[in-house]
Amino acid sequence: MRRILLNSLFAILAISIYSIANAADPLPSWSEGPAKKAILEFVAAVTDKSSKDYVEPSRRIATFDNDGTLWVEYPMYTQVLFAFDRVKKLAPQHPEWKTKQPFKALLAGDMKTVGASGMKGVIEIIMASHAGMSGDEFEQEVTQWLATARHPHLNCLYKECIYQPQLELLAYLRANEFKTFIVSGGGIQFMRPMTMKAYGIPPWQVVGSSIVSEFKTREPKVDFIDDKAGKPVGIYEHIGLRPILAFGNADANMQMIEYTRAGAGRRLGLFVHHTDADREYAYDRKSHVGTLDKVLDQADANGWIIVDMKKDWKSVFPDR
Amino acid sequence: MRRILLNSLFAILAISIYSIANAADPLPSWSEGPAKKAILEFVAAVTDKSSKDYVEPSRRIATFDNDGTLWVEYPMYTQVLFAFDRVKKLAPQHPEWKTKQPFKALLAGDMKTVGASGMKGVIEIIMASHAGMSGDEFEQEVTQWLATARHPHLNCLYKECIYQPQLELLAYLRANEFKTFIVSGGGIQFMRPMTMKAYGIPPWQVVGSSIVSEFKTREPKVDFIDDKAGKPVGIYEHIGLRPILAFGNADANMQMIEYTRAGAGRRLGLFVHHTDADREYAYDRKSHVGTLDKVLDQADANGWIIVDMKKDWKSVFPDR
């Protein structure tokens, strides 16, 4: 009993010190500007019991895309690079890959031919590298790979190439009794081993694409693609409540934002615009990953908030 | 700032008063006996940092079946009765049902013929009554029905025919930093409208069977059956962590309990045995719902805990 009380008092002290330190600014890595203003005003409105926009805590759902929204996706999605590395590791057990495309090209380092195999080729590689083992074994493979795999240009392990302003936003939302979810086109079992540590998001608050799992073994068959129009379906099936805030960075996230904003009451939809070639990358309409084209044309008319990385983020990555 | 501090202090006071009041017994509706002892010892072991059985809070996952484990399932699953009522309501828009089985029999009150149509017939009725509308519309239909639908024999609305000892167990587990989940063969969207209020379990911690949802409309097509061997798959896909405690009441829950107990470290698997014809029902090996047969044969050898409703529960339902 005394221990419970003491622990609670320590927790209060810790919260209080944190609150005082951050009272001036819950989002210190965000520059003053329309994006930060929109976020602060939205959170103030939905948490104020006297506001017409008030939302019960149990319905304060915020969903975030992962690739390009919470961590780096350029020049290639991290999961695809994991799949490439895994095919190389598994090659000795697959002599047939020496003559079969796109595996032959991948093993020879001929990325042009791999690229030319298109989405069909990439899916073949994903299936070959993600199936045929139990979920626990797959988790171990991912965890081992993430422990050492480094981004080719940025000075970080992939699992550390995450955006500091978004970490602050996630913490700020949770401090205001939001539940934070990842809703990503990426593989659910690929993301889960890192989301708790990196973002403070537990595995059951991660919605993603999946391959069919039987009782024990992952099968090389797509179960669900959590992208584009799949995202609202994933949200409905998995979370069971419509978000009031959603954050993406690509045209593929438009349906999630539309679904979010189509609900009654006040809603907020945001997109990261990668505009910062110095600190990260600059890409949008014609990019091969994270294409942001229709969103830029329709944002103003729809009231979507475009977060300009160069202007709106004082820092991009955590200090290391 | 002052408001945050004051709120925190009030929260501590409330917790402290609650703790003192319940210090003597966190499970007052459970009789002293082997089941209660097993639960208390298990929770003490996995929450004690000095114990070899200690489990990090983020991995304290407890899963509960719903029908017959958290609420009444006898003489018929609540969701099936909802489907029957809904077919009657929709009948004027479906003149073809006047001649088509099992609808014809259901509309004529001929439950013998409905029963003879077997699982195929019941699935036809579920599909006809659960599809063709948006998720929001379906939620409204369920909520309206639950507001007034009464159990035919017990003196309660269906949504109030929930077990008091299990409410105490859920609260006790959460007070010990467990995350509580429902993993049920029932429809996920049928359960979600009531789980938060009835059990304190938010919609994203409810795993169940589902029918295919496109962007807007529920389709009359089964997506996933979360029962028997489907339960471990549902847990793996949805929660992403293996439970350390699982609670069921039927042979259909065996795979969930086996999956739970197959993990490393200390685990607890429990089954409600419905033995109480006075306060609820007595049924097991030959029952048409919640068949409990193999479990009774194998429980001792496997270390599963059988909770005998009559002996182990001092009260069955909340005071109303």
Residue B117 confidence (pLDDT)? 86
Instruction: Show the tokens assigned to B51.
Output: 């114990």
Give pTM, 2 decimals.
0.82
The answer for residues whose C-beta is within 8 angstroms of residue B253's C-beta and 6 or more apart is B65, B69, B231, B246, B271, B295
Q: Do A239 and B204 touch (CB under 8 A)?
A: yes
| Contact criterion met (CB < 8 Å) for A233 and B255 | no
Q: Is A53 helix (H, G, I), strand (E, B) or coil?
A: coil
Search chain A and give the residue with CA nearest B234.
A213
Higher pLDDT, B19 or A128: A128
- Using the predicted structure, report yes or no on whether residue B11 has a pLDDT greater than 80: no
Residue A97 to chain B, least CA–CA distance (Å): 30
Shortest Cα distance from B59 to chain A (angstroms)? Answer: 10
Number of helices and strands (H, E) in chain B? 13, 7
Residue of A nearest to B139 (CA): A240
Contacts of A239 in chain B (CB under 8 A): 203-204
d(CA B215, CA B204): 19
Cross-chain Cβ contact A20/B9 below 8 Å: no
- Is A192 in Cβ contact with B213 (below 8 Å)? no
- pLDDT 10s digits, B161-220: 999 999 999 999 999 999 999 998 888 888 988 999 999 999 999 988 765 544 445 565
Would the CB atoms of A23 and B1 count as touching at under 8 Å? yes
Contact in structure between B128 and B140 (CB atoms under 8 Å): no
Interchain proximity B204–A15, CB inside 8 Å: no
Chain A residue closest in CA terms to B229: A215
- Condensed to tens digits (0 to 9), the pLDDT of residues B95-109 reads 999 999 999 999 999
Would you call A134 helix, strand, or coil by DSSP? coil
| Backbone dihedral angles phi then psi of residue A64, each to the nearest 5 degrees | -125, 130
Residues of chain A with pLDDT under 70: 1-23, 210-229, 320
Greatest pairwise CA separation for chain A in angstroms: 69
Contact yes or no for B5 and A20 at CB 8 A: no
- Output the average pLDDT for chain B: 88
pLDDT at B84 over 90: yes
Residue of A nearest to B8 (CA): A12
- Structural tokens at position A269: 């939809």
**Chain A to chain B, count of Cβ pairs less than 8 Å apart?**
88
Digit-coded pLDDT (tens) for B235-271: 888 898 899 999 999 999 999 999 999 989 999 999 9
d(CA A131, CA A220): 5
Axis-axis angle for helices B294-302, B254-261 (nearest 10):
10
Average pLDDT over residues B128-141: 83
A239 Cα to chain B: minimum distance (Å)? 4
Q: Calculate the CA B119 to chain-centre distance.
A: 21
What value of ipTM does the predicted structure carry? 0.76
pLDDT band (50, 70, 90) for residue B21 = low
